[in-house]
Chain A
Amino acid sequence: MTSIPEFMTAKHRECDEFFIAAENAITQNNWALAKDSFKQFSEELDLHFQAEENILFPEFEQATGITQGPTQVMRGEHQQMRALVADLLQALSAEDKDAYIGASETLMVLMQQHNMKEEMMLYPMTQQRVPAPDALLTRVVEHCQTLENSE
């Protein structure tokens, strides 16, 4: 069985793939494809945030007793990324290429520095600190599969 860091890191890469597909479609002025890819990206991202905020972070906080530290910062950054996703959606609806590319570069940077902190620190710590990492991973996997099952 895979570990929490491996699974969550793979999920980050999946989100990146959809994100890049949308951005590339826009550079080629293919707005229909961009909208499709962006929809997949925002759904994956939302599911990923939920998995962290509702399952992973509470377990980390319970296991370590740290509630105002890293997870709090991660939650704040999720909110900021959601705001940028809303900006991107607006640019997509208006088919405004410059606005989209500007916001997508910003989200890209925010998302990657956020991912770096999670992948290098938070996920490995969660794997080490929670009492039953395998059971926790199963819950996360099941949550992330809800989107695939609903399609």
Chain B
Amino acid sequence: MNIANLSFSALPAISVPFRYFISANVFLILAALLILFAGEPLGLSRWQPMMLAVTHLFTLGFVSMVMMGAIYQFLPVIGGVGIANVSTVATVSHSLHTLGTLALTWNFILPSTLAQIIAMSALGIGFTGYIFSVIQVLVKKLSQGQTIIGIRLAMLSLIFVVLLGLLFIAQSYLIPYVDIRFIADKNYTDLHALLGGFGWAGLLILAVSLQIIPMFHVTPSFPKWLAKYLPAMLVLLLLLLFVFKPNSVAGQFVIAFVLVLYSVYNVAFLKLFKQRKRKVVDTSVSFWQFAGVSFLALVCLYFFPDAFYQQVFAGNKALLLSALFIYFYLVSIIEAMLLKITPFLTYTHLQNLCLADFSAMSFLPHMHELLLKKHGQVLFKLHLVSCFFLLLTMAATGYYFLFALALLAEFSWLLFLITRSLYLYRICLAKIKNNPL
């Protein structure tokens, strides 16, 4: 264990994670507006350009955006070392990520060479810079915990997801020079989605929750075997899909195995929350439980016969399951985490300033003042409403506008909660700075 670079006070500036959280909400507000104006044809197929645009606003614009922002903050706490030149890395990679996501959305809706080039270069450079910076910390092996191992595997998955994504954008330019015709095979799109959903997002959630759930919710620990073997098994299975293509029979078995394995994790955390010792009402627990139950329902749906999808969801099995996974599962857990992280980060940054001036501790607001409990409860209710309308839209596309409005309301509210916390931070910061030592 190397301690030369160890620094528990290496927190990045508060603007680093918050710019990611704020942008993430703006992207979903944009997605809501896009759905509202795109209208009914949106629900027809996962390959429809507008649907691809909306999907990437969720995955690139929201899910990845929040997770990347949180990693800046999480590494110094869990690994004892922060990212080098963090402000520069964050400014460059966040700006390029934002630009690239916007250009990709634009290219899906109105394909153009310019949009393609901007998307490819901005996402390519942005992700490369970010991944390179995070890997520099992860290879230091400061902590040997399962969480760090899980984050490493999640980053490995992200590398594959980004490479495949860049190849999809670049294929028309590269094919005359390099033989990458294989990329047109829809199996690679499924691989891109599965590695992104379970390898990058799913595994990162799993790895971080190994630490976060038992500590912050005061539950027993996850079973040791689960923490030790599940992350590696998941990644191995996902990589196996490069050999056994997702649409082949063997590939379908591998996917079913991934779903079952990930269900084991979901059952495990649902059980932990049942054993939670704290009796204080906590909306983030409701989000987690909702996500866990939704995932188990999703797995049951996966094994339903195709006739069911023909009758109820116009045969759109893959679209329905992807929507459920992204919105009912990933977005729910990210909201659970944001409800905890937002006041926590605000408080931690203020508290860090008070290490130099202990008397300023009296200015610090409590966690509940930074994010009011009733505000969190409103967010959960808004989420339940938008989930219901999403499901309704999947069954009867004419209701798309209700989902769009619910989405707009939910993420405008979350944006308000985050900016409110940041506003309270600024007020308190001014008090601390004016405090005579």
Contact = CB atoms under 8 A, between A and B. Distances in A.
B361 interface: yes
Interface string B138-156: 0000111101000000000
Contacts of B80: 70, 117, 120-121
Interface in B200-229: 211, 215-216, 218
A45 to B, nearest CB: 15
A80 B347 contact: no
A16 B280 contact: no
B427 interface: no
Contact of A23 (B3, B7, B215, B280): B280
14 contacts: A66-B3, A69-B6, A69-B7, A70-B80, A80-B355, A83-B361, A101-B368, A103-B366, A106-B367, A110-B351, A113-B344, A117-B8, A120-B78, A121-B142
Given A73-B355, A116-B77, A117-B8, A109 B216 contact: yes
A27 interface: yes
Contacts of A16: 218
B1 A125 contact: yes
B306 interface: no
Could you say which of A27, A64, A116, A124 has the most chain B C-beta atoms within 10 Å of its C-beta?
Answer: A116
Interface string A18-30: 0010011001100
Interface string B358-387: 100100101111000000000000000000
B368 A102 contact: yes
Contacts of A106: 347, 364, 366-368
A93 interface: no
A109 B367 contact: yes
Given A102-B369, A110-B347, A124-B1, 14 more contacts: A27-B280, A69-B7, A70-B6, A70-B80, A73-B9, A79-B358, A80-B355, A83-B361, A105-B366, A113-B77, A116-B77, A117-B80, A121-B80, A121-B143
Contacts of B77: 113, 116-117
A121 B344 contact: no
Contacts of A124: 1, 143-144
Interface in B1-27: 1, 3, 6-9
A80 B366 contact: no
Nearest to B80: A121
Interface in B261-282: 277-280
A140 interface: no
Contacts of A23: 278-280
A131 interface: no
B211 A116 contact: yes
A70 B8 contact: yes
A42 interface: no
A20 B218 contact: yes
B361 A80 contact: yes
B310 interface: no
Q: What 5 pairs between A and B have smallest CB-CB spacing?
A: A102-B366, A76-B355, A73-B8, A105-B367, A121-B80
A58 to B, nearest CB: 16
Contact of B3 (A27, A105, A110, A125): A125
A108 B355 contact: no
A70 B8 CA distance: 6
A148 to B, nearest CB: 22
A36 B215 CA distance: 23
B248 interface: no
A115 B164 CA distance: 39
A8 interface: no
Nearest to A28: B279
A112 interface: yes
Given A115-B215, A116-B78, A121 B144 contact: no
Contact of A116 (B215, B218, B354, B368): B215
A128 interface: yes
A115 B144 CA distance: 16
Contacts of B172: none
A79 B218 CA distance: 23
A106 B211 CA distance: 18
B351 A80 contact: yes
A112 B366 contact: no
Interface string A21-62: 001100110000000000000000000000000000000000
A120 B207 CA distance: 14
Contact of A102 (B211, B354, B367): B367
Nearest to A83: B361
A144 to B, nearest CB: 21
B289 to A, nearest CB: 19
A10 to B, nearest CB: 12
Contacts of B279: 23-24, 27-28
A3 to B, nearest CB: 13
Contacts of B144: 124
A80 B350 CA distance: 12
A74 interface: yes
Nearest to A27: B279
B348 interface: yes
B346 to A, nearest CB: 11
Contacts of A116: 77-78, 211, 215
A28 B279 CA distance: 9
A48 to B, nearest CB: 16
Contacts of A128: 1
Contacts of A115: 215
B78 A108 contact: no
